[in-house]
Amino acid sequence: MEKITAKFNLKNTLGMLWIIAILGAVYYYITVGISIEDIRAYLGGLGLWSGLIFIIAYTVRPLIFFPTSIMTPLSAILFGPIMGWLYTYIGENLSATVAFFTARYFGRNLVKENENAFIKKYDEKLRLRGFETVLILRLIPLFPFDFVNYASGLSAIRYRSYISATLLGVIPGLTAYIFLGGSLTNPYLIIPTITLFAIISFFAHHYNKKQTPVTNKS
């Protein structure tokens, strides 16, 4: 009983600290504001440590819901397309892990305790076909990156399936955003950027159109 109480108190304490961190970040955004130039100036002054600090910042980013749409293009501006891609790829997958286990720790038991037959059915499907599901959602970004991270943690998807699909599935979108950031300083990257985004948009539209009849039918 004491172990259960201690675990409950620890979870509540960590939950409160997380809420405080989110509120603190929101307050800072509203009152002080933050821009790409601010981040660029800060990381630029760190020298050789800037890459490591960037990866750490990217890793904890989902805890305060800082958008990937700022961090990813910025890495190309700061470190160039190649090193920017590498740093972001590491940080992106680490951040996916952080969000996944955060959701699993705080929310998975609540889902299991309150799931009905419908949720249980699809939860089991996700457990069995987690890799395919996450891979499609990564390759065809129908939902925001962090939404998929947290939703996966709440579901029965196995971490091994989740992270394997993430490691593979983020590559096209990540490359597109790196090209986007790089195109701000290198105009030769504009055409590859437009091409990549067009390809991703085409497959997203095609997949969504293909799924619509199935959804309506059910």
Q: Please provide the DSSP assignment of 93-124 as one string.
A: HHHHHHHHHHHHHHHHHHHHHH--HHHHHHHH
Distance, in Å, from the CA atom of 61 to the CA atom of 40, rounded to the nearest integer, reads: 16
The residue type at 178: I
Question: Would you say residue 215 has pLDDT above 50?
Answer: no
Across 196-214, b (16+ Cβ under 10 Å) vs e yields bbeebeeeeeeeeeeeeee
pLDDT tens digits for range 104-114:
998 888 888 88
Q: Which of 17-21, 41-45, 134-138 has the highest mean pLDDT?
A: 134-138
Residue 136 in tokens? 């499609």
- In the chain, domain spans: 34-212
pLDDT tens digits for range 169-181:
999 889 888 888 7
| E strand or H helix at 163 | helix 159-183
The pLDDT of residue 178:
86
Backbone φ and ψ for 29, nearest 5 degrees, come out as -60, -45
Average pLDDT, the chain: 79
The pLDDT of residue 216:
44
